[in-house]
Amino acid sequence: DGGITQSPKYLFRKEGQNVTLSCEQNLNHDAMYWYRQDPGQGLRLIYYSQIVNDFQKGDIAEGYSVSREKKESFPLTVTSAQKNPTAFYLCASSIDVWLAGGPRLQYFGAGTRLSVL
């Protein structure tokens, strides 16, 4: 079945540690996204990538880094510079953004809950 796989489901970070959240998709989508969700809040865009080897900052990129070496994969690293990393992280993908028209619907993974020890 096609979809988006995020791992791990739960992750704990120690003070000063970098952690990496995995996101893999087999939908053959070109665009991928990372969102952060705090309790009782909507999603906020961290980073997005429209094509392999290219990515752009979203609204809250500070303290995070990404890479896009393969079309299927878009890992997110939460660095030690992110002082408040506890949140629910959601990865999404959508069809080629350069196609005209259509909703370019974003499909989401099941999320990773990150907590600080």
- Which residues, 6+ apart, have CB-to-CB distance to 106 below 8 Å? 33, 92, 93, 94
In the complex with another protein, which residue's Cβ is closer, 81 or 97? Answer: 97
Q: According to the binding rule CB under 8 A, does residue 45 interact with another protein?
A: yes
Q: How far is the CB of 58 from another protein (least distance, A)?
A: 5
Report residue 37 as tokens.
Answer: 């969700």
Sole binder of another protein in the list 7, 12, 69, 104 (CB under 8 A): 104
Cis, bond preceding 85 (omega within 30 deg of 0): no
Residues near another protein (CB under 8 A): 31, 33, 35, 40-45, 48, 50, 56, 58-59, 88, 90, 92, 94, 97-111, 113
